[in-house]
């Protein structure tokens, strides 16, 4: 346990240091280039929950607080890229469900998750910060990530985050996004139920084990509060007369 705590502490410190350095670099770049202000830094506040052998499909199952740091770079009014570091404790227990095979298996887990994810975002409508008419848009997002957690014998695992959201930019300096992303995890060991961990002598014995080929999932739902690095205009590339 102490070794695990030291490992997570080391990961958090290194990730935060890298995040801080990248934020400073983006801020310097924004200050030098006064005509392009697409770089943002912010906080993610929300909840996380798990889907897997214990909870195959129920949304918002045992939600836990999820926190994160977020960087966004907008290439234009529709396309942006983000880098986010998130942390959440996920958990589940068979006793929460009424079916017999999970009741008899009686598995449970808690797993601390740290995620590093790069995503692209596409706005359905052009977003212009501080505009009276173009300050809000729904968007879709998707990308690649790395999940740090307790995966017995597996180490770090890749994941695919994807989801939807709504961005609101009421001023040139502030953006709020309501964000919901699922993570397709390339591991079936988030809930720490191995394929040979449970074997019982009754008709549904196979269901007491991990479902082979059915990797675990998790989801973060929350709000991203972002502030523009540097200062200046709304980031629109359109002609002022046209706007």
Q: Which of 58-62, 71-75, 83-87, 236-240 has the lowest mean pLDDT?
A: 236-240
DSSP structure string for the chain: -HHHHHHHHHHHHHHHHHHHHHHHHHHHHHHH-TT---EEEEEEEEEEEEESSS-SS-TT-S-EEEEEEEEEEESSSSEEEEEEEEEEEEEEEGGGS--HHHHHH--EEEEEEEEEEEEEEEESS---TT-SSSSEEEEEEEEEEEEES--TTT-SEEEEEEEEEEEE--SSSEEEEEEEEEEEES-S-TT---TTS---SSTTGGGGS--TT---EEEEEEEEEEEESS--S-S--S-TTT-
Q: Per-residue confidence at 37, pLDDT binned at 50, 70, 90?
A: very low
Residue 15: the pLDDT is 57
Q: For the segment 72-118, what is each residue's pLDDT rounded down to a tens digit? A: 998 899 999 999 999 999 999 999 998 887 888 888 999 999 999 99
Domain coordinates in residue numbering, the chain: 2-228
CATH class given for the domain over 2-228: mainly beta
Q: Per-residue confidence at 24, pLDDT binned at 50, 70, 90?
A: low
pTM over 0.85: no
Q: For the segment 7-16, what is each residue's pLDDT rounded down to a tens digit? A: 555 655 655 5
Q: Per-residue confidence at 33, pLDDT binned at 50, 70, 90?
A: low
Give the residue, 201 or 185, on which the prediction is more confident.
Answer: 185
Residue 147: the pLDDT is 94
């Amino acid at each position: 346990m102490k070794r695990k705590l030291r490992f997570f502490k080391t990961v958090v410190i290194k990730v935060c240091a890298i995040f801080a350095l990248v934020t400073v670099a983006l801020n310097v770049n924004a200050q030098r280039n006064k005509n392009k202000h697409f770089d943002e830094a912010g906080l993610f506040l929300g909840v996380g929950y798990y889907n897997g052998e214990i909870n195959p499909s129920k949304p918002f199952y045992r939600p836990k607080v999820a926190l994160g740091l977020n960087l966004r770079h907008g290439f234009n009014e529709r396309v942006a890229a983000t880098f986010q570091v998130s942390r959440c404790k996920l958990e589940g227990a068979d006793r929460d469900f009424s079916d017999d095979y999970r009741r008899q298996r009686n598995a449970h887990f808690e797993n601390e998750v740290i995620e590093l994810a790069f995503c692209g975002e596409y706005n359905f409508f052009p977003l212009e910060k501080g505009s009276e008419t173009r300050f809000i848009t729904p968007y879709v997002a998707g990308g690649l990530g790395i999940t740090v957690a307790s995966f017995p014998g597996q180490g770090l695992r890749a994941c695919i985050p994807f989801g939807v959201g709504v961005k609101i930019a009421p001023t040139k300096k502030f953006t709020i996004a309501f964000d919901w992303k699922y993570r397709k995890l390339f591991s079936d060991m988030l809930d720490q139920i191995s394929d040979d961990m449970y074997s019982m002598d009754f008709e549904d014995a196979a269901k007491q084990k991990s479902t082979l080929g059915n990797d675990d999932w998790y989801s973060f739902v929350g709000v991203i509060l972002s502030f523009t690095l540097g200062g200046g205009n709304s980031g629109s590339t359109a002609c002022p007369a046209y706007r």
